[in-house]
């Protein structure tokens, strides 16, 4: 690994020059004298707020800071679904989750779906993908060791709105590698990064075609816990002393929690299924957050390997580099870890772009989201954009050519949509985020109360003001319904869940009771098996009755 201190020495040499004035433009995209290369690095679970002040003071992220200084950073970038596969499906398709019907980590895009990379390849780009993809159905790449765990994940996603609580993840914990010099903690990601660097070395010798390279990382996603019982799950924050030294413990903030009795019902459900409703000491919370930040520092170093390789190969000034993440990480905010939430720590993602034609040291406050990656990629290549995309090209917001062009000021709408239909939350969730407001609706819009936060005055999202400002809540709800008929989508997801559960149950035959009793909520199930069987039967019956009534 190249030492991080190289960045200090090389920073001036890595500066990306402004584009020449001889370039022509096609729509929002520049037709460079030769099309630029593109590198997209996508990590997992990276809190986007760490890329700007004051959050970035807690951990040293030199290469993210380098991209900020030499490119454009989007201060309000969001996932379109705070869970791996649906989020990545949105990014690779350019479509909102309800349009792709990527409902959970097992229901993504069709393997033959035409992505932005496929289109770029057809237009002459050499293409290469390394690492974590997770956007097609049935290929969730989080390392699952036990088939029973796989069944648990699927059944939990389908039955989350059954009238009982599921105990999915283990209690979050930390694990420290004592060796002070241990740098490559996430060895799989480092090997993947090495493969990408080696590919770049080969690509540098071919000057006849531009290339697009994708690198997907697991970090800073928490690691699988080492047991298979109640504590099983991706709930271990794991790092070494080398990376912990990059973290400023004094800058770590202990998040404020609402009392359990005051939590929104969906938040309580999430906290319970994530095993976070028990007591945590301040030391435990601070350590979890510190270890998470250390994992972010290791992620930053892998991004740095790509940037330094591009520089050494003479490709940096010819390459647009984009860094983002599929979602964030709560790291004990709102009494939760993991994601599956519309709170900032979970839904806010990093998004930085640098390269020829991209304005340096620019911070864009407009709300944007991962569906914007698709049109941006095509725009970079000068490829006409399809008319049906949910996203918008980010070039008008980040390019030097357009920075003073008022006619492009409102090209991207002043809102983004995020939705969630997977496990750990017991109701489909929808977020409309504008410059000032965050409105969160659930299920059919009536059975579960909505949430409204003024993120400008309440950045920690501790005060739900939906009932205090009903006119604003109503207005935002109407806007949300104009974008997505969310009660109808919720009903479709519920029906899908029921159908998938029935198929799974039928495939087990007489072995069903034994299998379901040994999934990860087995301790509670075995205590009152009739109660749980009855809850599932009632759930199936209720949905069937609703469907019959709708057909009448």
Please check whether residue 160 is in contact with residue 498, taking contact to mean a CB–CB distance below 8 angstroms.
no
Cα Rg, the chain, nearest whole Å: 23
* 3 state SS of 323: strand
Please check whether residue 455 is in contact with residue 407, taking contact to mean a CB–CB distance below 8 angstroms.
no
Beta-bridge mates of residue 74: 364
Please check whether residue 288 is in contact with residue 331, taking contact to mean a CB–CB distance below 8 angstroms.
yes
Quote the distance between the C-alpha of residue 171 and its chain's center: 22
Q: What angle do CA 530, 531, 533 make, to 5 degrees?
A: 60
From the candidates 84, 85, 296, 423, which is the catalytic residue?
A: 84
Rounded distance between C-alpha atoms, residue 465 and residue 440, angstroms: 11
Beta-bridge mates of residue 107: 104
Please check whether residue 489 is in contact with residue 428, taking contact to mean a CB–CB distance below 8 angstroms.
yes
Please check whether residue 428 is in contact with residue 486, taking contact to mean a CB–CB distance below 8 angstroms.
yes
Q: Residues of 407-431 as b/e, b for ≥16 C-beta within 10 angstroms?
A: ebeebbeebbbbbbbbbbbbbbbbb
**Helix, strand, coil in percent for the chain, rounding step 5:** 40, 15, 40
Rounded distance between C-alpha atoms, residue 114 and residue 76, angstroms: 28
End-to-end CA gap in the chain: 66
List the beta strands (DSSP E) in 306-446.
Answer: 319-325, 348-349, 351-354, 362-369, 416-420, 429-433, 437-442
Whether 276 sits among the annotated catalytic residues: the reply is no
> How many residues does this entry show for the chain?
552
* 3 state SS of 185: coil
For 30, list phi and psi in degrees, rounded to 5: -85, 130
Pull the structure tokens for residue 26.
């096609």
Residues annotated as catalytic (active site), given as ranges:
84
């Amino acid at each position: 690994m190249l030492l991080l201190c190289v960045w200090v020495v090389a920073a001036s040499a890595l500066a990306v020059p402004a584009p020449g004035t001889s370039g022509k433009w096609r729509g929002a995209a520049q037709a460079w004298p030769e099309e630029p290369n593109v590198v997209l690095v996508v990590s997992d679970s990276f809190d986007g707020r760490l890329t700007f002040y004051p959050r970035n003071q807690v951990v040293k992220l030199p290469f993210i800071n380098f991209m900020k200084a030499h490119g454009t950073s989007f201060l309000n970038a969001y996932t379109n679904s705070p869970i791996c596969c649906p989020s990545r499906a949105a990014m690779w398709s350019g479509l909102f989750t309800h349009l792709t019907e990527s409902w959970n980590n097992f229901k993504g895009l069709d393997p033959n779906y035409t992505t932005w990379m496929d289109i770029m390849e057809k237009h002459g780009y050499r293409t290469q993908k390394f690492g974590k993809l997770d956007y097609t159905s049935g290929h969730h790449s989080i390392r699952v060791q036990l088939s029973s765990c796989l069944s648990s994940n699927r059944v939990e996603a389908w039955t989350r709105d059954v009238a009982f609580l599921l105990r999915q993840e283990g209690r979050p914990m930390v694990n420290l590698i004592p060796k002070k010099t241990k740098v490559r903690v996430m060895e799989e990601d480092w090997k993947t990064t090495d493969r990408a660097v080696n590919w770049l070395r080969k690509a540098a010798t071919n000057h006849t075609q531009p290339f697009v390279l994708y690198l997907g990382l697991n970090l800073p996603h928490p690691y699988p816990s080492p047991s298979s019982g109640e504590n099983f799950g991706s709930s271990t924050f794991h790092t070494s002393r080398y990376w912990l030294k990059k973290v400023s413990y004094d800058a770590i903030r202990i998040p404020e929690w609402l009392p359990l009795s005051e939590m929104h019902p969906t938040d309580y459900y999430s906290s319970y299924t994530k095993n976070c409703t028990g007591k945590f000491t301040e030391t435990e919370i601070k350590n979890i957050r510190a270890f998470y930040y250390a994992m972010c520092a290791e992620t930053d170093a892998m991004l740095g390997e790509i940037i330094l390789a591009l520089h050494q190969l003479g490709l940096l000034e010819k390459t647009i580099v984009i860094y983002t993440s599929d979602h964030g990480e709560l790291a004990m905010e709102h009494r939760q870890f993991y994601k599956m939430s519309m709170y900032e720590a979970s839904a806010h993602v990093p998004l930085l772009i640098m390269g020829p034609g991209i304005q340096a040291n620019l911070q864009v406050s407009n709300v944007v989201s991962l569906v914007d990656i698709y049109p941006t990629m095509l725009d970079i290549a000068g490829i006409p954009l399809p008319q049906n995309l949910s996203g918008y090209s980010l070039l008008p917001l980040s390019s030097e050519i357009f920075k003073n062009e008022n006619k492009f000021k409102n090209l991207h709408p002043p809102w983004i949509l995020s939705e969630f239909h997977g496990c750990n939350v017991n109701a489909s969730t929808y977020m409309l985020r504008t410059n000032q407001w965050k409105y969160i609706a659930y299920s059919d819009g009536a059975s579960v109360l909505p949430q409204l936060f003024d993120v400008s005055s309440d950045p920690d999202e501790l005060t739900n003001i939906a009932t205090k400002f009903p006119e604003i809540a109503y207005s935002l709800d109407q806007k949300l319904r104009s974008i997505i008929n969310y009660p109808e989508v919720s009903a479709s997801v519920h029906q899908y869940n029921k159908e998938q559960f029935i198929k799974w149950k039928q495939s087990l035959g007489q072995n069903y009771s034994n299998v379901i009793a040994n999934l990860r909520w087995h301790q509670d199930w075995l205590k009152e098996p009739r109660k749980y069987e009855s809850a599932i039967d009632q759930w199936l019956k209720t949905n069937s009755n609703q469907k019959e009534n709708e057909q009448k």
